Chains A and B, each alone.
Chain A
């Protein structure tokens, strides 16, 4: 690999390293948050009442509800 040949600066390189460390920490915060949110949504989905699950899986009708009611 050919190493960079440009002037990386001094103060700006240190500043970038400091900000990177902070953002690197945020990466783990985000990861943990995503894990907790994911876990929560899995638990919530498992505990959903049965009728809601059934409603969710009903195939949407192509006929508008009002038209269906009238036809009945």
Chain B
């Protein structure tokens, strides 16, 4: 929904953004289904629960006004224009931990089952249909619903659901493949044939792989070997509509059971236990908490980016102070924990697996379908937290100090809370791995003078018992 070019795959309409608002054109032949679905009890319940994006049809006067502002965006064939609720900070499946992919799959099945009860069908089933409002998934592709043929026993997006939800989750459990490994290079998920090649001879016969991977692969090979006359793709109709619905309900129940079996377990990593093993003693950590809390209270940022959030302790603090928070960390296990925390406590906390040194690029057709992380981030946040992060960027990523502060300046409109870690700090030394001489010249004075190029230092505090210092900075104008 934050694409640079309008969506174009669905012939029934397209979605685009204009003046920071989200619009959708619905073609005339899909309009009746679109409006009927939104009037159905299942859609109204989903919208009321915040699980389906709210939509309203543009009135003629409003449309004429928008058309005069942008004739190209608001022209088109016969049809109607709608405005959707804008979801704060769109994210993509390759930025999610497996937990969020799983949650998106659950919501997809829930909407499909709800729509079925009202005589509608979901015509595509991909994580691209879902965004996250904080930690809660929201179905945003409102044009994915169509009135279904009551006699049709097949769900056409079944294969897409398997490719984009079940197989990536299965690959995550079996081989540790992350959603980024899958979706950065594949728009439509993993084909069963690809997974089949990765499996050992015995593994191909394990019950889960048999139905999701091996049998479809064998059937596909057999069908491809024959001269295919396209019969398999012809619509099927049963005489009994009740039987068709029974078959679909059974399919959704089966998919739900499979999805539940593939639910990612709480993973651990070198960083996921950081809150229990970090280098601060209790007074230092209490001081850090107090400093961050006071800065949040004083500046009241409404949109916060927590870069290097670990398991989200300070992100949750910012969310608790009323901000919409995007919390990023490159460790998927940490981000998975953050999502569980945000989901359980219904926090306005969007956790993403992102490396600030290699942020998500623009992707898709003409690099215009998915915006890069920085395109989405610039101008969005009025508060940025960089706690215990700078030394990782300096040492591991070899980013110069001034570059780091310049990016912080570009990311925040107002507040920066940053932690400076001296090169003699244990963690700093562990990261340098014998390359201490590269950072010999760095100290708090050097940091402060670099910082003053972009920020006014409002106040700072030394964390007792450590060589770390926290700074509360206000972005300079201009």
Cα distance A1–B250 in the bound complex, in angstroms:
25
Q: Mark B149-183, 1 if CB is under 8 A from A, else 0.
A: 10001111111101100000000000000000000
Which residues of B are found within 8 Å of A5, using beta-carbon distances?
9-11, 123-124
User: From DSSP, what is the main secondary structure of chain B's interface residues?
Assistant: helix
A36 interface residue (CB < 8 Å to B): no
Q: Are B154 and A13 in contact (CB under 8 A)?
A: yes
Number of A-B residue pairs with CB-CB distance less than 8 Å in the complex they form: 109
Q: Mark B186-215, 1 if CB is under 8 A from A, else 0.
A: 001000110000000000000000010001
Listed residue (B11, B33, B219, B232) with the most chain A CB atoms within 10 angstroms of its CB? B219
A2 interface residue (CB < 8 Å to B): yes
Residue of B nearest to A2 (CB): B12
Partner of A14 from the list B11, B33, B223, B247 (CB cut-off 8 Å) is B223
Q: How far is the CB of B212 from chain A (nearest CB, A)?
A: 9
Q: Are B219 and A24 in contact (CB under 8 A)?
A: no
B279 interface residue (CB < 8 Å to A): no
Q: How far is the CB of B378 from chain A (nearest CB, A)?
A: 33
Given A9-B159, A11-B216, residue A4 in contact with residue B153 (CB < 8 A): no
Which of the 9-residue segments A15-23, A38-46, A53-61, A63-71 touches chain B? A15-23
Given A5-B9, A6-B157, residue A11 in contact with residue B146 (CB < 8 A): no
Given A2-B12, A12-B162, A14-B223, residue A27 in contact with residue B247 (CB < 8 A): yes
Residue of A nearest to B193 (CB): A11
Cα distance A41–B190 in the bound complex, in angstroms:
51
Q: Are B154 and A12 in contact (CB under 8 A)?
A: no
Which residues of B are found within 8 Å of A28, using beta-carbon distances?
243
A7 interface residue (CB < 8 Å to B): yes
Q: Are B236 and A17 in contact (CB under 8 A)?
A: yes
A49 interface residue (CB < 8 Å to B): no
Partner of A24 from the list B146, B147, B243 (CB cut-off 8 Å) is B243
B233 interface residue (CB < 8 Å to A): yes
Q: How far is the CB of B207 from chain A (nearest CB, A)?
A: 14
Which residues of A are found within 8 Å of B163, using beta-carbon distances?
9
Listed residue (A6, A12, A16, A23) with the most chain B CB atoms within 10 angstroms of its CB? A12
Cα distance A6–B251 in the bound complex, in angstroms:
19
Q: Are A20 and B247 in contact (CB under 8 A)?
A: yes
Q: How far is the CB of B137 from chain A (nearest CB, A)?
A: 20
Q: How far is the CB of B205 from chain A (nearest CB, A)?
A: 16
Cα distance A16–B323 in the bound complex, in angstroms:
46
* 5 A-B pairs with the lowest CB-CB distances in the bound complex, closest first: A9-B159, A11-B220, A11-B216, A12-B159, A11-B219
**Contact surface of B with A, Cβ cutoff 8 Å:** 9-12, 27, 29-30, 33, 123-124, 126, 146-147, 149, 153-160, 162-163, 188, 192-193, 211, 215-221, 223-224, 232-233, 236, 238, 240, 242-243, 246-247, 250-251
Besides A8-B156, A8-B159, 5 other A-B contacts (C-beta < 8 A): A6-B123, A6-B124, A6-B160, A7-B159, A20-B153
